[in-house]
Structures are given as C-alpha cells and as structure tokens.
Amino acid sequence: MENIKYITENFGKYDISSIDSYMSIGGFEALRKAVAMDGDAVAAVLSEAKIKGRGGAEYPMGRKWSQARVVKRPHHCVVCNADEGETCTFKDRELIKNDPFNLIEAIIIAGWTVNAEDAYIYLRAEYACLRPRIINAIQQAEEHDFLGKNILGTGWSYNIHLYSGAGAYVCGEGTALIRSIEGKAGRPRMKPPFMKQSGLFARPTCINNVESLSIVPHLLRNALPYMQAGTKESVGTKLISVGGNVNKPGVYEIPFGISIRDIIYDLAGGVQEGRNIRLIQFGGASGKISDDRILDIPYSYESFAANNLIIGSGSVLVIDERTSVIDFLRYTQDFFLHESCGQCTPCREGNRHIRIFLEKIKNGIHTDEDIRTMKTFATVMPMSSLCGLGETAQNALKSAFTIFPEVFTVKKSAGGI
Amino acid sequence: MIEDSGKFDLNDELKTQIETILDNHCHDFTQIVGILLDVQEQISQHYIPKIAAFYIADKLPIKLSAIYDCITFYDALSDKPRGRYPIEVCDSVACKVNDNGFLLETLKELLGIDFGTVTYDGRFTIEKVSCFGACDRAPAVKINKIVYGPLKTREQVRDLLKQFV
C-alpha cells in the first residue's frame, strides 16, 4: 500500500529540541503566510479542506474558526486539547513527541485567525514526559519572537501557557477541560453559553484537538497533496491509532478511503496468531462497534455514517475471538462507570445499572425485562445526560444490540426466574 | 474520608520546595491542579499529606475544600500514601484483551500485596488506571511517568521490578 506522509511529514526530519532545525525544513513559513492573510482566508482554507475536529466531535474546523473570530467580545483565547483519553487513542502523543514545533506554530496560527491573546495547552497528566519538549518549544518560539509582543511586526501579542491535566477522562470534554484549567474539579457544565462566547475564564474560547491543529501549518505550506488524498467528502489524510489484538499496533497516517481490511491486515500486520476478529471498535471507548462484515468498507466519514459507525478520535481497536462481546461491553462499561463524574443522574446511575445488567447476562441469569430496561437506559442516557460522556457512553452497547442480537437473547432454561 | 496523615512531617525543606513550586506557578490559585501535581512529586510517597494541603490552602486564596475537591476528583492526585514507585497498571480494553490479568496477578504475587496496600519496604503499590495511551505497548505499566511494556512473561515483570530499589 502506498505510504503517505502529510501530517507526519516532519517526523524524524528535524531535531525536536531546536527551533533552528525546524526552521531549516521550512518551519514557521506557514505562520508568515498566515499573518499576511486575513483570518477569514485562513478559515476558508480549512473549510475547503473539509477538516473535521479530530478529537472525536467531528465539528467542521473552518466553521469553528470563522465563528470564533466574529464573536464581539474581547480577550479571545485558544485552547489546545491534548487530553486524548479515549481508549486506544495515542496519535496526539506521537504528534507532540515527534513534531512539537509544528503544534506550536499551529497554535500561533489559530490565535492569529481568531484574534486571540492567549493560548492554553491542556496536556494530559499521563503524557507528563512530553512536558519538557513543549516547554522548550514555547521558550524557543518566544526567543525568536514568534510569541510575545509584536509578533513578526504585526503589532499582535500572543502567549502560550502549558497546563497539566490530572487523569480525568471527562476533562477531554470542552466545558470540563476549561474548569480544570481554571483550577477546579473537571465537572462539565450545561451549554449554552457556548465555548466560543464564554469559555475559559469567561473569555471567548476556541478549543481544538492536537491533530486538527497540526494539519494547519502543512495546509498553508502546501495544500495540494492533502486535497488530492482521500475521498470527495472526506478529504485528505488521518492519523489512526490501531491497537488491541493486532500484530503491529501503532499510529499510522492513512488517506481517507482505504479499506478497513487494509488497515488491519496490511498496516497493522493482521490479527495475533491469525485468529478471527470478534469485533472492532472505532473512535475510542465512546465509539461504535461492528464485526468483520465491515472489513471491506472504506475508512471515510460518509461510509462510516452509512454503516452506523463513527470515526471519532481515529482509533481502531481490534478484538479477537478470545474475548466475548459481553466481556468487551463489561470492560467498556467499567471504564465509563469509573470515569463518569457523577454529577448528573442519568450518567451516574445509568452506567451503574447497565453494568449490573451486563453482569447478569454474563452469568446467564438475565430476563427479557432486564434487556428491555437496559435498552431503555441506553436510549435515555444520551437524551438526558449533561455532557458528551453520558451521551456517548452507550454507543458500543447500542451498536451491539444491532450487530450481535444473539448475545442478548434470553435462554429458556435461564429465563423467567 | 481523608486519611489521617498526621505522622507526616512537614519539614522546612519541604516547605521551601512548596514555596518554590508556588513561585513557579506565580501564586496563581487557578493553577492549583499543577501545583498539587508538583507537590506530590516532591513527596517520596507520591501523595498530598493533609498537612501539606493545609499549608497550600494557607498560602493561596483558595479554600481547603476546593483543594480536596481537586485531590479527590482527579485520579493523578492521591490523599493516601503510595509506594515510592507506584505501579500504574493500564486497565483499559486494549490492555485487557492483551492479558493484563496475568500481569496483575504476577505483580500481586511477586510483591505479595493487593490493590491499595504498600509493600513492607514502602517501595511499591499496585494501582489500576484508565488508558494512558500506550496501547501499542499493551499490556503496559507506568512507573513514575515512564511506560514499560509489553510485559507478557513473569521474567519480564521480575526484571522490571528489580530496577527499582
């Protein structure tokens, strides 16, 4: 399969501790281009490339930036969400590890586009070992006047601050994330007000994922290879994290449109010891699942939507036949039970009770009534939960109802107790 | 409830370290999570003793309850003493399907402890944590910020533990 390197173009090409090395391969040229452009023009480039938020929410990035820049309130800020907590997602780790200056450049371009005064990087505590790289990159950018006062003679001032998360999955959610930066426990809040109007410290805030941001400098430098890759609706390339029972787990850059079979059997080297696939989960713990019937569909937003799947954070978790569907759902449910902040009842109690039902199914003592109640909970939770966590926690379960209905049938001998 | 850490000695050295940490964070109470993480790192048992929490609450315009709201909310912060080398075992699906059960059992057996207890020499605790983004090295553990994996055999686990004295 053709090997495409666009977002990962700089990987291994420069010394990640030196800004001069980064500039020698064309670093900060995109920023120079951006400051010569109007913010709307930068946002238009993103809209044309049809970039959707790569953290999981899939919100069109160009629209996000153009909406953020027109908010008529002072003290705009940009937040870089480096809190990738979805299970089996580790693409942002690779981006920060191998290309920190590109991220810094992207955050500066974001600030320029949305007229921001400050940027905040929210780095998950689990990636604390990457802190020195980011701090070094920020410092060197400051020394070279890419940050601070009067950047590149434009009269615009901008600073980047690095904040650390502390191991809470829910802090990947925008409102929880900003509370965490504000020094509070990361419990999400109701929207509106929306982030773009009143976010971090009540300032208009534009939150972007590391990967979404990382694409921007590349696009401004040379958009052509990106625009030529992918499909009509899903332009360009994507970083995917493949893990689970595959021979070569890791982060791969792929053009949209290649088949899932190619991802699993070509890139990731197939399933361990040639076993069969039980199920595949896309987009992290909050993603949906399917079995090997989708192996030949293309990896793109439109074909995933048609097959009731989501790309989300871009993770591909392959589970082989040794793990049963119910065990997988129990593991996922354990995760959400642990990570639910406990603030709103549907999520707190829903997760707890569904966990109990799954345990019953595992032990073969469930009844039709249990399954009905479980289905009701799985429907009610997304409608009534406060934040994205509660809304998406049952995605895997709900897709299991359709893909693996046999798992939930009540055996005559066990039922009716 | 907050574990009584009354025996903990908040000595002058630690006080100075906390002062430096507060200076580094510009005495900005919004940076409390970062401050607590840094303080926790200074303490060999990787937790925030009650007396240290009181001390920080005293130095910043923030209530003790707000500090404990953070300590109890975030998994990376602890109010209970841990080992000098807390072994954080990833318990997410990617590690589970790569048999982290064997890893957990081996660790428990080799160290002779269960979750939530410290080895007799104060070196290790075993903790189950959510995905820390090392699924390409599953089953993995993290000890003081460093990831080790994949750990699939008893020998690998034993060799790993030997590194920490």
Q: Give the global pTM.
A: 0.95
Contact residues for A356 (Cβ-Cβ < 8 A; gap 6+): none
Best B91, B93, B129 member to test A by mutation, with max A CBs in 10 Å, is B93
CATH number listed for the domain at residues B85-162: 3.40.30.10
In chain A, what residues touch B76 (CB-CB under 8 Å)? 125-126, 165-167
Q: Are B48 and B77 in contact (CB under 8 A)?
A: yes
CB contact under 8 A, B145 and A285: no
B contacts of A181 (beta carbons < 8 Å)? 30
Q: Which of A243, A328, A338 sits opposite B130 (nearest CB)?
A: A338
What percent helix, strand, coil does chain B show, rounded to 5? 45, 10, 45
- List alpha helices for B29-82, DSSP H: 32-42, 50-59, 64-73
pLDDT tens sequence across B1-44: 344 556 788 999 999 999 999 999 999 999 999 999 999 999 99
Q: What pLDDT is recorded for position B8?
A: 85
By CB atoms closer than 10 A (0-12, 13-18, 19+), residue B6 is exposed
pLDDT tops 70 at residue B140? yes
- The C-alpha atoms of residue B14 and residue B10 are separated, in whole angstroms, by 6
Q: What are phi and psi of A242, to 5 degrees?
A: -105, 130
Sign, CA dihedral B148-B150-B154-B156, equals: negative
**Cβ within 8 Å, pair A244-B132:** no
Residue A158 has what pLDDT?
97
> Residue A3's pLDDT is what?
81
Contact yes or no for A110/A73 (Cβ under 8 A): no
Q: What is the DSSP string of A291-318?
A: -GGGTTSBSSHHHHHHTT---TT-EEEE
pLDDT recorded at residue B104: 96
Q: Name the residue among B104, B127, B135 with its Cα closest to residue A249.
A: B135
Instruction: Estimate to the nearest angstrom the gap between the alpha carbon of A98 and the chain centroid.
Output: 18
Report chain B residues touching chain A, CB-CB < 8 A: 29-34, 36-37, 62, 66, 69-70, 73-77, 91-94, 96-98, 129-138, 142, 145-146
Q: Distance of CA A398 to CAs A147, A385, A415, Å?
A: 47, 16, 22
Note the pLDDT of residue A56.
87
Residue A239 and residue A253 in contact, taking contact as beta carbons nearer than 8 Å = yes
Pick from A183, A245, A328: CB nearest B98: A245
Say what the pLDDT of residue B6 is. Answer: 63
Q: Which residue of B has its CA nearest to A201?
A: B30
* Rg over CA atoms, chain B: 17
How do the pLDDT tens digits run along chain A, 417 residues long? 668 999 999 999 999 999 999 999 999 999 999 999 999 999 999 999 999 999 888 999 999 999 999 999 999 999 999 999 999 999 999 999 999 999 999 999 999 999 999 999 999 999 999 999 999 999 999 999 999 999 999 999 999 999 999 999 999 999 999 999 999 999 999 999 999 999 999 999 999 999 999 999 999 999 999 999 999 999 999 999 999 999 999 999 999 999 999 999 999 999 999 999 999 999 999 999 999 999 999 999 999 999 999 999 999 999 999 999 999 999 999 999 999 999 999 999 999 999 999 999 999 999 999 999 999 999 999 999 999 999 999 999 999 999 999 999 997 654 444
Of A93, A243, A335, the CB nearest to B138: A243
ipTM over 0.90: yes
Domains of chain A: residue spans and CATH? 19-226 (3.40.50.11540), 229-320 (3.10.20.600), 325-408 (1.20.1440.230)
Taking CB atoms and an 8 Å limit, are B73 and A187 in contact across chains?
A: yes
Could you report the per-residue pLDDT of B32-88, keeping only the tens digit for each? 999 999 999 999 999 999 999 999 999 999 999 999 999 999 999 999 999 999 999
